[in-house]
Structures are given as C-alpha cells and as structure tokens.
C-alpha cells in the first residue's frame, strides 16, 4: 500500500475533481477512526449487539460425508440482514455520523448491500437513498420491499445495462451533487481509494473469526478457503487473515452461461486491466476500453469490475480464481438446501459449487472452509421462476 | 502561447459535442455548424460506456455515438476531417479508460497527429496524471484540468503547475447538464482561482443561456463552455438534419453574440 491507495499496480483514485475533496476528507476521517477507541468500541457494540457477531463456523456433517473431506461454512448468512454486508455498512454509517454527514447513499446489485445500508441508516438515525438497476429491482423485489420498509428510498436506475455497474454510476452522480452533507456507502472492495482498503478492513472480521474458530475446533488451519467474488468484499474479508499462511485461497467468479462477451461476470478469469469506478483493476472491456455487459444468475456477481486487491492477488498468484456457471450454481443452491437445510444466496452458491467440484482433490482429514456470504431467501422467488418450482 | 490560450484572449466560447453523436458523419457536420456560428474552441467528447461525471443528456449522446459504431479510431478520424476545413483549437474530453486501454503514449501521439490541441481526462486528478502530463508536453498538447469549488488552495497550486491551455472551472456540485441558474458563488470562485494562476479560466457545467455566458464573462472568466444544451438540440432533431443544423447555428450565434457584446464593452 502506498499513499494513493495502490495494491501493486492496482487501485488508485481515478475520479473527477469534484469528488477529490470528499475522498480526501473520507480518507482522513477513516485514518483517524481506525485508531480511535471510542469509534472502535461503538462499532463493536453494533456488531455484537445489533448484527449478531460472532457468526458460527458450522461443521457440515452431511456434506462432509458426501464430499469426503471436512467441510465448514462460515455463516455470514446468519448475520442480521442475511449477508456479510452489514459489517461494512454499520462501520461506514458510523463513520459518516462521526464526520457529521446527514444522509447515506448506496448502490446495490442483489439488494443485500442496499438492505444493509437501510438497516445501518435506521439504527444510526440517518436517511438512506439506494440506487438499484431496474433489472435487479425486478429480480430482487423482496429486497426492494425490505429497504422501503426500513425507510430507505429506492431509485431504480434505467441507464446502461440497468444492473450493478449502472447503479454505481448513478450513485456516484448523486454523490457529486450532494457531497457536502452526504456519505457514499460503497458496498464492496471496489471504487477509489480509500474504499477498497476501508471496506476490506471492515470485512476482515470474517477471516479473523474464522481463523480463531478453526484453530479452536480443529487445532490447525484449514487446507483451503473458498469464497465467491463479484466486487470481492466477502472474499477479501475471509482471505485476509490467511494471506500469510500456507492455506490455499480460492475465489469463484460468475461463469454465467458461457465464455462469450456478455455471457458471464468472470472479471479476473477473463478480463484485462483498466479503470472503472475510480480504480485500476481487472475489467471486462473491449479493445477500446468500453465496458462490456455481463451476465450472472446472481445479481450480486453481475459486475464487470473487481477489487484492486484481488487484481494484485491474482497477479502474484497468492489467490487462485475460477468460475462457476449458472447451471452448476443452481445445482449447488438446491444441493446445500437439501443436504444441510441451509438455503445459500445464489452468490454464495458459486463458492459451494466450486467446493463440490474440487472436493475430490482433498483427503478425508483435509479441511475446507466455504464463506457462506449470504442466505438465499431473497433468491427463492427468482429460482422458483427459473426452474418452474422445486426440483 | 498555444492556440487554446490565444483563443481564450477573446473571451472564448467553447462548444462541446460528443464525437460520433448521432453518427460519425453527422458529427463532423455538427462541428462545422458550431464553428461557422462562431465557436472559438471545439470540445469533442470521446464516448464512453460508463460516464459517472455526466448527466443524462451526455450519457445518451455517448450511447448514440457508441451504437453508431464510434471507436477511438473514429474519434481521431473525425478530428482529421474537421482539420481539413478548420484551424479551430480542438480539445478532447475523455475518461481515462479509453486512454489507458490504447496505451497513453499511442493515444497522445495519435491525437497529436490528428490535430488535437488539448486533452482533458475527466476522471484523472492531478495526483494520477504524471505520465499524461509528460506525454502532453512531448506531443505539444495542452493538458487541461478540472478545478472544483472544493479544490483546496494547496491542490490548486499543484494543478496550475501541471496544467496547460486553460483551467476548466466546474461551476456546480454535480454532473454535466443544463441548469436554470448559475450559482451565486461563481464570481468568488473565479476570483479565488484567478489569484492563484495566470492560466485562462473557462467555466463549464450548467451554462446554457446567453445570460449565463455573459455573466460568466463579466465575472472574469476567459471562456464559457456549453455542452448539454448543444447536445439537447441534437437529441431533439435526430431525424431532421436541416432543423438540427439550423437550431445549432441559431443557438450558438446567440451565445457568441453575448460574448462579443462583453468583449466589445471592455477592450
């Protein structure tokens, strides 16, 4: 890390001049808060008493027996709101309050970050406006209702591909216009510095807990940790505590319906470096640098960019990145639901799917940890529609 | 002095349009109309799929240009076509990714060869701009930077040191787009920047009427930049080219008249 927020080549701060002041102000406030005991204590209070940390690390008896290795799930699906997103929104919301901001805005893809921002806004007493692609509003309607019930205003975004990337564009536009009194609560480890660093720090509680829990339960570190990667916040969150260890780290991207242009969201597997949403990172783009459309069964991974730190970890080879296609992902969604009675989010189902694929590489005493970043209740209606009911 | 700086002595009326909007051929004819109607500097937007600094008018223009097949090559050939009939200073306004993806050196070299005078990269703050500032000097291109009302005096100094051509003052908190009023704080903002630099100052974002242009010039700016209001005329007349050109000519003339009135009254 350097001063301008670089992870190796990647990261940086590529924003219009109109946002520079706000980003410098945010960086300063974050640096101060990260060593401020009052802020840390208050955040700990919300994470424990409100969000329900720490989350369990569940040993899956049935899946382990079936796959022939010891499978654990880090249960971020049990965090209040049903996904890991609240770790970050409570922290950013609290920081906004310390900075004297009067309003929160956020983008959302699957709606989990929007819901988590609505929760943070409600509990911290700050009004919330959420930008969500029109396509995503339709496929994640339940989350739109949830945000509205908690008092947030949801703005459907009708520009571009009407998914997550356009929601980020629109949130950035809204932020530029209201920058004096508004905090932009970015939902992943993407965007201009300090967001990739700050969101990673706020999410790394997932990995710290996992490391401690597995050492208690097994007396040793896991052989592999697997997480899904859209922007990559749950993955960085769980990987970070293991970066210096001899633990295989695996990120799983959206394989969609194929490898053609617009058929997937596998940015690290198939992309090239470029600048989108304020940072240099891998992107899905054409030869002129125009951003390509993406597809994934999961709205949360339907994104043509990825966090700069992941981009660096790909280049250094410390983390391996693969993809899982829509059909395999749906299969994993049903499989975990039936074998363990846990309905995973379609995003997290990518990690489950890849774990099932490679389980054969592990022996019966080997330990596999899957980050179950969210629960699948939000996806039930869409999956029923896609599959014509249960199967 | 560069051609851009010379044009700002006027003061300058700076007309913006997206290269390739609504298609590459018409885009050249639009440029000709703007020049004929008295534009002093032509700003051409390089269309981009994800322009977070732009409001809906310019977003839609970017989409039209891209849908019409505009590529970075096309943008340079549009510049060459304009160069065939005009010496007007041309500024490219782009996001960084098309520059990065082409390779900054190749982008600047090709821009120079096509006849570009200045380049403004909307999402490249001065902290990230060392490489392109070097390239701009190597290829004799003015590197233009944005200054906002929140830009601190310390950063303004750094920007002024790296900048060429003019400083682009963003008049509002927000994205591009026509607005009914220009902000009350504008004269103080212009004054504050003026004290820090001898570079010409051009004001953009939200400028759309003759009154706005004359107010901006009265407040001490050396140029007024009009974009979305021009693009709206294009958008309203997509299938009627004669009306589009007549509308653009009449509108641009009304703005340049205001500018001349002002410069005539204060020699």
pLDDT single digits (tens) B22-62 = 999 999 999 999 999 999 999 999 999 999 999 999 999 99
Q: Is A84 a catalytic residue?
A: yes
Backbone φ and ψ of B154, nearest 5°: -65, -45
Domain ranges of chain B: 3-258
End-to-end CA distance of chain B: 20
- In this prediction, residue B260 has a pLDDT band, given cuts at 50, 70 and 90, of low
With CB atoms and an 8 Å threshold, state whether A285 touches B124. Answer: no
* A49: contact with B, CB 8 A cutoff: no
Whether residue B149 contacts residue B185, with contact meaning beta carbons closer than 8 Å, is answered with yes
Q: How far is B174 from chain A (nearest CA, A)?
A: 4
With CB atoms and an 8 Å threshold, state whether B102 touches A288. Answer: yes
* A373: contact with B, CB 8 A cutoff: no
Looking at beta carbons, which residues of chain B come within 8 Å of A172? 52
What would the pLDDT profile of A357-379 be if each residue is shown by its tens digit? 999 999 999 999 999 999 999 99
With CB atoms and an 8 Å threshold, state whether B52 touches A173. Answer: yes
Least confident of A102-106, A268-272, A291-295, B89-93: A291-295
pLDDT at residue number A161: 85
Q: State the Cα–Cα distance between residues A85 and A66, nearest whole angstrom.
A: 31
With CB atoms and an 8 Å threshold, state whether B97 touches A179. Answer: no
Q: For the sheet containing A182-184, what is the strand order?
A: A153-157, A128-133, A103-108, A182-184
pLDDT at residue number A253: 98
Q: State the Cα–Cα distance between residues B194 and A263, nearest whole angstrom.
A: 51
CA angle A156, A162, A165 (to 5 degrees): 105
Question: Can you tell me whether residue A387 is helix, strand or coil?
Answer: helix
Is residue B263 predicted with pLDDT exceeding 80? no
β-pairing, B142-147 vs A10-11, is unpaired
Record: fold of B3-258: TIM Barrel (3.20.20)
pLDDT at residue number B266: 40
Whether residue A160 contacts residue A188, with contact meaning beta carbons closer than 8 Å, is answered with no
High-pLDDT (> 70) share of chain A, %? 99
What would the pLDDT profile of B229-239 be if each residue is shown by its tens digit? 999 999 999 99
Give the closest residue to B69 by CA, choosing from B16, B20, B19, B18.
B20
Nearest CA in chain A to B129: A14
What would the pLDDT profile of A40-63 be if each residue is shown by its tens digit? 999 999 999 999 999 999 999 999
- The catalytic residue among A69, A84, A228, A277 is A84
High-pLDDT (> 90) share of chain A, %? 91
Residue A279's Cβ-side half-sphere holds a number of Cα atoms within 13 Å equal to: 33
With CB atoms and an 8 Å threshold, state whether B52 touches A17. Answer: no
With CB atoms and an 8 Å threshold, state whether B146 touches A290. Answer: no
Please tell me the pTM assigned to this model. Answer: 0.95
Best of A6, A9, A18, A192 to mutate (most B CBs within 10 Å, chain B): A18
Residue A157's Cβ-side half-sphere holds a number of Cα atoms within 13 Å equal to: 27
Contact residues for A298 (Cβ-Cβ < 8 A; gap 6+): A110, A230, A254, A329, A345, A346, A347, A349, A350, A379
With CB atoms and an 8 Å threshold, state whether B55 touches A173. Answer: yes
pLDDT at residue number A140: 87
Neighbour-count burial of A380, counting CB atoms closer than 10 A to its CB (0-12 exposed, 13-18 middle, 19+ buried): middle
Mean pLDDT of A180-205: 97
Query: ipTM of this predicted complex?
Result: 0.94
* A226: contact with B, CB 8 A cutoff: no
pLDDT at residue number B265: 41
Kindly report the average pLDDT of chain B as a whole number. Answer: 94
With CB atoms and an 8 Å threshold, state whether B127 touches A13. Answer: yes
Nearest to B101 among A15, A169, A289 (CB): A289
Nearest to A17 among B71, B100, B148 (CB): B148
Q: Is A60 a catalytic residue?
A: yes
What would the pLDDT profile of A122-139 be if each residue is shown by its tens digit? 999 999 999 999 999 988
Q: State the Cα–Cα distance between residues B129 and B131, nearest whole angstrom.
A: 6
Is residue A1 predicted with pLDDT exceeding 50? no
Nearest to B50 among A18, A165, A288 (CB): A165
With CB atoms and an 8 Å threshold, state whether A176 touches B175. Answer: yes
- In this prediction, residue B261 has a pLDDT band, given cuts at 50, 70 and 90, of low
pLDDT at residue number B259: 66
Nearest to B125 among A20, A22, A276 (CB): A20
Residues of chain B that touch chain A, judged by Cβ-Cβ distance less than 8 Å = 48-56, 59, 63, 66, 71-72, 95-102, 122-125, 127-128, 145-148, 150-152, 155, 170, 172-175
Residue B38 in tokens: 């008295």
Q: How far is A324 from chain B (nearest CA, A)?
A: 27
What would the pLDDT profile of A203-259 be if each residue is shown by its tens digit? 999 999 999 999 999 999 999 999 999 999 999 999 999 999 999 999 999 999 999
């Amino acid at each position: 890390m350097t001063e301008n927020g670089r992870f190796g080549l990647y990261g940086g701060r590529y924003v219009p001049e109109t946002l520079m002041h706000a980003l410098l102000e945010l960086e300063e406030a974050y640096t101060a808060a990260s060593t401020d005991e009052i802020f840390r204590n208050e955040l700990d209070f919300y994470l424990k008493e409100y969000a329900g940390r720490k989350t369990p690390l569940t040993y899956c008896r049935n899946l382990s027996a079936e796959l022939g290795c010891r499978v654990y799930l880090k249960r971020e699906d049990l965090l209040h709101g049903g996904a890991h997103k609240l770790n970050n929104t409570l922290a950013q919301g609290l920081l906004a309050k310390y900075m004297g901001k009067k309003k929160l805005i956020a983008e959302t893809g699957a709606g989990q970050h929007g819901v988590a921002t609505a929760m943070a806004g409600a509990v911290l007493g700050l009004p919330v406006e959420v930008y969500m692609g029109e396509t995503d509003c339709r496929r994640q309607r339940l989350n739109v209702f949830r945000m509205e019930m908690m008092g947030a205003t949801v703005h459907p975004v009708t520009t571009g591909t009407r998914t997550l990337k356009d929601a980020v564009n629109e949130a950035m536009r809204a932020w530029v216009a209201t920058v004096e009194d508004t905090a932009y609560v970015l939902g992943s480890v993407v965007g201009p510095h300090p967001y990739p660093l700050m969101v990673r720090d706020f999410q790394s509680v997932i990995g710290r807990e996992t490391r401690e829990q597995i050492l208690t339960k097994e007396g040793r570190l896991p052989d592999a940790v697997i997480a899904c990667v859209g922007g990559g916040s749950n993955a960085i969150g769980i990987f970070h505590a293991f970066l210096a260890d001899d633990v295989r780290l695996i990120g799983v991207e959206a394989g969609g319906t194929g490898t053609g242009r617009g058929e997937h969201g596998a940015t690290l597997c198939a992309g090239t470096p470029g600048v989108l949403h304020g940072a240099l990172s891998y992107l899905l783009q054409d030869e002129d640098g125009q951003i390509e459309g993406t597809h994934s069964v999961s709205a949360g991974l339907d994104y043509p960019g990825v966090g700069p730190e992941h981009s660096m970890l790909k280049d250094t080879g410390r983390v391996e990145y693969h993809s899982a296609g829509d059909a395999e992902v749906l299969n994993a969604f049903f499989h975990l639901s039936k074998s363990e009675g846990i309905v995973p989010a379609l995003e997290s189902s990518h990690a489950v799917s890849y774990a099932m694929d490679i389980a054969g590489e592990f022996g019966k005493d080997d330990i596999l940890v899957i980050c179950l970043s969210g629960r699948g209740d939000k996806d039930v209606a869409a999956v029923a529609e896609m599959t014509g009911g249960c199967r | 002095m560069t051609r851009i700086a010379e044009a700002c002595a006027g003061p300058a009326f700076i007309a913006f349009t997206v290269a390739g909007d609504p298609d590459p051929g018409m885009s050249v004819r639009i440029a000709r109309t703007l020049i004929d109607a008295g534009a002093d500097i032509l700003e051409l937007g390089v269309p981009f799929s994800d322009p977070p600094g732009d409001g809906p008018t310019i977003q839609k223009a970017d989409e039209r240009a891209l849908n019409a097949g505009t590529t970075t090559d096309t943008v340079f050939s549009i510049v060459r076509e304009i160069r065939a009939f005009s010496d007007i200073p041309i500024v490219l306004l782009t996001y960084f990714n098309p520059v990065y993806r082409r390779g900054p050196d190749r982008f600047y070299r090709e821009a120079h060869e096509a006849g570009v005078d200045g380049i403004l990269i909307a999402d490249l703050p001065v902290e990230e701009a060392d490489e392109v500032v070097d390239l701009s000097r190597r290829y004799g291109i003015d590197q233009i930077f944005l200054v906002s009302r929140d830009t601190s005096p310390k950063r303004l100094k750094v920007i002024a040191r790296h900048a060429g051509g003019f400083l682009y003052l963003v008049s509002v908190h927000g994205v591009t787009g026509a607005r009914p009023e220009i902000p009350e704080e504008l004269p103080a903002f212009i004054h504050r920047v003026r004290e820090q630099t001898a570079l010409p100052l051009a004001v953009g974002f939200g400028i759309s009427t003759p009154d706005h242009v004359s107010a901006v010039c009265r407040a001490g700016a050396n140029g007024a930049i009009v974009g979305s209001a021009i693009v709206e005329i294009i958008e309203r007349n997509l299938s009627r080219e004669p009306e589009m050109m007549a509308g653009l000519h009449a509108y641009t003339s009304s703005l340049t008249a205001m500018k001349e009135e002002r410069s005539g009254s204060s020699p």
